Structure 1
Amino acid sequence: MPDSLANDRHPPARFNAARYCLAENARLRPDKTALVMVGDGTAERLSFGDVERAVRGIAAGLLDLGLEPGDRVMIRMGNEADYVLLYFGALAAGLVALPSSPQLTAGEAAFLMDNSGAAAVVIGGGCTVAPEALGGRLLLDAAAIARMKAGPPLPAYADTAADDPAMLIYTSGTTSRPKGVLHAHRATYGRRPMRDHWLGLTESDVMLHAGTMNWTYTLGVGLSDPWSVGATAVLYNGPRDPAVWPRLIARYGATLFAAVPTLYRQILKYGDLGAQDLSSLRHGCTAGEPLSVELLDAWRQATGKPLYEALGMSEISTYISSGPTIPVRPGSPGKPQPGRRVAILPVEGEPVPLPAGESGLLAVHRTEPALMLGYWNRPEEEAEVMRGDWFVGGDLARLDADGYLWFEGRNNDLMKAMGYRVSPNEVEAVLSDHPSVAEVGVAELPVRADVSVICGFVVLQPDAEPDAEGLLAWCAERLAAYKRPREIRFLDALPRTPNGKVQRKRLAATAAG
């Protein structure tokens, strides 16, 4: 897409993320397919003209309801086209989009509504909101969305500043409750280094993304990045059969495919790659979990296609990667993308970048346009992640002499499950409420060479009987599917430090012993 700002690191002072992704596409290529929403045997196609018309209709409809710039709009829907349109519609209106997962329990959804102070909740795809949790919020359903899409469009995109809030993403933190990561409109522009150097996107590409809508990996890599260059996005809303992805690549001529490493592993095992024509695929992209050398080799041998990894987090998305301009070095997620200001800082002491080869905390400079505005109503946690002019997310790493990053774990106990960050505190809080549980620790449990699952390590109350299935069912009623433990192990005591803190890193070894 022609762009006079292509070489600028920062967006213009007045910048709207929805306008950036849609306005020029609607003007230059209105009839080109922008989105293919694939269901179980169905496919809905929307052109760039269709998308912009619907987005601006939704934007006008939201404002006509009395919502004001900066109000939060919580989206509680499954993978459906209206999720996409609501997300960009909120941005187009100058509102703050709050994507949420349809897997959330009623209690989890109520927490997000209350904590965010959402002014409106949009539901679809079988999702519900408990009437007692709604309070005075607006509740919009499929019929309301249809009316807004058909109504008069917003005359012009909201004249937002680049630093105005645009999206509020909830992610697991170091407490027992998720925390909101607030991003500005500029974050969408700040994705350009990953778009160019990890994904290598061009107007002629077709991006197939395997993620769900509530995830920044999907909203960014699956939608905003392709649309920023006029490419086509393909998303899926059918049964989660690993064998479907090679069929979708072949059917829609996908040139890029994005997923988490776990899904690539499942595709290799169940996908029957040899039965599909994958000639359109240029390369695969993966993030959310570390990519093992074994999986990288297996994918390349099975498909003959490159697989490019990226490292990132909700606060900044991906900023380390391999890609068309950064050769793969097995075992490393790659280098800092060109234009990023990345350093390794000492774990303790002054925030002075360390030389190549020395291990420390991975940090990104505060001037990075993709960096969050901050944590929603948690200034104390913002202070914890800032070291001088550097944002430090807790990853331990080192940069080698060639600039490649080598990941060495985390400086805290956050877990990764299917690409989502999950706080052990949140899972422990749920298990602790069970009447049979006296003490609990939660950590990742390795089940294969490069696969780990969330596990609850439980000390029972006196006279309580071990019932792993009962505890898993208890969690299923209170936690989204991706947060739930997959296994329960019973211990006589939890490993603790001399000060009494649970040593989560020793839990798996204690259970094995």
Structure 2
Amino acid sequence: MDSILNKGPFAPCPSPFNMAAHVLGRATMQPEKVALTVMGRSQDTHWSYAKLEAAVRGTGTGLLRLGLKAGDILLLRLGNTPEFPIAYLGAIAVGVIPVPTSSQLTLGEVEKIVATLKPKAIAHGASVPSPEEGSFQRISEADLAEMHALPPCDYVVDEPDRMAYIIYTSGTSGRPRAVMHAHRAIWARQMMFEGWYGLKDDDRLCHAGAFNWTYTLGTGLMDPWTIGATALIPEDGIPPEALPDLMKSHSASIFAAAPGVYRKMLKSGSTLDLPTLRHGLSAGEKLSEPLREQWKKATGTGVYEAYGMSECSTFISANPTAPAKNGALGSVQTGRNIALLAEDGFAPQGEVGQIAVHRSDPGLMLGYRDANEDTAKRYRGDWFLTGDLGVLSEDGQIHYKGRNDDMMNAGGYRVSPLEVEAALLAAPEAEKLTALAVCDVEIKQDVRIIAAFYTSEAMVDEAVLEAQAKDILAAYKRPKLYRRIDAMPLGPNNKLRRAALRDFL
């Protein structure tokens, strides 16, 4: 049996269509309901659906009055404030193309983006690195705030396949790529409501991330607003350890975060008192089984994982009615058409293949901007190649096997780093670790071994980790070298730069 999972098609996106209008469609039905609460240390800030829509449509008017028009590019260099999603939706409402970027980018990185993107304007926060001069307008956060009171713009509606926004993703070559998405991308995210979230209109979804992170932007804000739920976001600077008390006081029913946040919240080893929480959501990197079990023990709730990428919204996931089994990511969402590809066709069930998305998926990108050749390289026929590897089990679940270019080579064997990391994290001594990652390293010409790098607050008995590896892993999968380092090498979005581990040797 080949690894092909066609769970579609999903209901077609209406036409004409506007993404911002779709996200705020509940505003007229429930104008006084709280759409957003910014959870503060001493004081909260609340945004009703009516106030939110007024701010978005006023921002759209303000952008037009500044001379921006449909198709112009607005680069978002904003801080961790509600101005970020408001400017994002305000631009989309009038056909301006917003480009959200991480506030952690350096000025040099931003200047490279500006040089190729050539934005008409840059919306900037005072503390966020941004070019001072150039052939663009500068719009401050104060300018954006003043736009909230302007008369509401009309939503620009047109074909759902036209471009709505651009996001940047790391390329395998190390050069960031500008990923173009259509208005229909928000329509496709509805497949996640049941397929991952278990989201309802009376939910109060708390996302641990910053406003200016695309994971927060989609899962924490756009999706709850689309269904009419309430989004809960911690104010800037609140540490993960403080989130349980905030979640309890705000009656959070769903929690979303990256695995690293879960790890920090569980650091004390105490039970977390979250009486209204139904479950947690995880994405961004692989969630380890020990961490999932720790959360279950501490809260009595499950964590459901999803797999997606910058080029396509999540399409493989577990959910409350179909939890993952035996360490799997989960199942293909209803409405999706997914396959695992071998070098010469479809991978047989039970064998490793590259995860691929059919080009008909409404959540799939339009392409990389000004890079038709790079876009074409990502396709094999009608299938978009994700660069990630997976295995389809007999029960229809997909087990993640790491990046195609992260797969390690040890003695001629291909080894997933995730498998080795999961084994080591199950060791008793792993409680002392704050982070762990493995990669293959070349110790002399044509001789590669697997090395384990870790951070810890206390000294770790590496012999215990070695014994754990010996008990669980085949000899060729075991690390031959252990190295304690001060900090893991992370990219702008806090994702591990695995190749950079080799610099610590």
Q: Which amino acid aligns with 2:359?
A: R
TM-score by length of 1: 0.78
The structure-2 alpha-carbon separation of the partners of 1:407 and 1:128, relative to structure 1 and needing over 3 Å to count, comes to: closer
Match for residue 280 of structure 1?
276
Per-residue CA deviation, residues 425-452 of structure 1 (Å, 9 max, x unaligned), is xxxxxxxxxxxxxxxxxx9963179xxx
Between 188-197 and 44-53, the greater mean CA deviation after superposition: 188-197
Question: How far 1:362 moved relative to its partner?
Answer: 0.5
Match for residue 241 of structure 1?
239
Match for residue 418 of structure 1?
none
Match for residue 379 of structure 1?
372
In 1, Cα distance between equivalents of 2:492 and 2:501: 26
Match for residue 385 of structure 2?
392
In 2, Cα distance between equivalents of 1:162 and 1:230: 22
Question: How far 1:177 moved relative to its partner?
Answer: 2.3
The structure-2 alpha-carbon separation of the partners of 1:117 and 1:272, relative to structure 1 and needing over 3 Å to count, comes to: farther
Q: How does 1:198-213 map to 2 (within 5 A)?
A: 198-213=196-211
Per-residue CA deviation, residues 271-330 of structure 1 (Å, 9 max, x unaligned), is 8544x4x11100000011111111111111111101101111111121111002322214
Question: How far 1:163 moved relative to its partner?
Answer: 0.9
Per-residue CA deviation, residues 44-83 of structure 1 (Å, 9 max, x unaligned), is 1110000101100000111121112111111111110111
Q: Please, which of 213, 230, 233 is the counterpart of residue 232 of structure 1? A: 230
The structure-2 alpha-carbon separation of the partners of 1:8 and 1:390, relative to structure 1 and needing over 3 Å to count, comes to: closer
For the 8 Å contact 1:243–1:272, the answer to whether it is kept is no
* CA RMSD between the two structures: 2.7
Match for residue 163 of structure 1?
161
Question: How far 1:480 moved relative to its partner?
Answer: 4.3
Match for residue 269 of structure 1?
267
Match for residue 447 of structure 1?
454
Between 328-337 and 252-261, the greater mean CA deviation after superposition: 328-337
| Counterpart secondary structure, 1:68 | coil
In 1, Cα distance between equivalents of 2:496 and 2:378: 27
Q: Which amino acid aligns with 2:72?
A: D
Match for residue 408 of structure 1?
401
Between 208-217 and 284-293, the greater mean CA deviation after superposition: 208-217
Match for residue 11 of structure 2?
9
Match for residue 212 of structure 2?
214
Q: Which amino acid aligns with 1:386?
A: Y
User: Does the alignment pair 1:137 with 2:136?
Assistant: yes
Q: Which amino acid aligns with 1:308?
A: Y
In 2, Cα distance between equivalents of 1:237 and 1:197: 29
In 2, Cα distance between equivalents of 1:358 and 1:271: 38
Question: How far 1:127 moved relative to its partner?
Answer: 2.1
The unaligned stretches of length 5 or more in structure 1 are 1-6, 416-442, 450-467, 487-503
In 2, Cα distance between equivalents of 1:506 and 1:165: 37
In 1, Cα distance between equivalents of 2:178 and 2:245: 36
Match for residue 21 of structure 1?
23
Q: Please, which of 332, 337, 353 is the counterpart of residue 333 of structure 2? A: 337
Question: How far 1:481 moved relative to its partner?
Answer: 7.8
For the 8 Å contact 1:242–1:271, the answer to whether it is kept is no
In 1, Cα distance between equivalents of 2:210 and 2:142: 23
Match for residue 298 of structure 1?
294
Between 208-217 and 393-402, the greater mean CA deviation after superposition: 208-217
Per-residue CA deviation, residues 329-362 of structure 1 (Å, 9 max, x unaligned), is 141110111111011111x23xx43332122111
For the 8 Å contact 1:242–1:270, the answer to whether it is kept is no
Q: Which amino acid aligns with 1:312?
A: G
In 2, Cα distance between equivalents of 1:394 and 1:33: 40
The percentage of aligned residue pairs carrying the same residue is 41
Match for residue 463 of structure 1?
none
User: Does the alignment pair 1:101 with 2:109?
Assistant: no
For the 8 Å contact 1:342–1:364, the answer to whether it is kept is yes
Per-residue CA deviation, residues 376-413 of structure 1 (Å, 9 max, x unaligned), is 11112111110100001101111111111011121124
In 2, Cα distance between equivalents of 1:170 and 1:92: 21
| Counterpart secondary structure, 2:346 | coil
| Counterpart secondary structure, 2:127 | coil
For the 8 Å contact 1:94–1:160, the answer to whether it is kept is no
Question: How far 1:171 moved relative to its partner?
Answer: 1.1
How many aligned residue pairs are there? 427
| Counterpart secondary structure, 2:158 | coil
Question: How far 1:100 moved relative to its partner?
Answer: 1.2
The structure-2 alpha-carbon separation of the partners of 1:388 and 1:248, relative to structure 1 and needing over 3 Å to count, comes to: same
User: Does the alignment pair 1:324 with 2:333?
Assistant: no
| Counterpart secondary structure, 2:287 | coil
Q: How does 1:251-262 map to 2 (within 5 A)?
A: 251-262=249-260
TM-score by length of 2: 0.79
| Counterpart secondary structure, 2:87 | helix
The structure-2 alpha-carbon separation of the partners of 1:485 and 1:21, relative to structure 1 and needing over 3 Å to count, comes to: closer
Match for residue 426 of structure 2?
none
Q: Which amino acid aligns with 2:308?
A: G
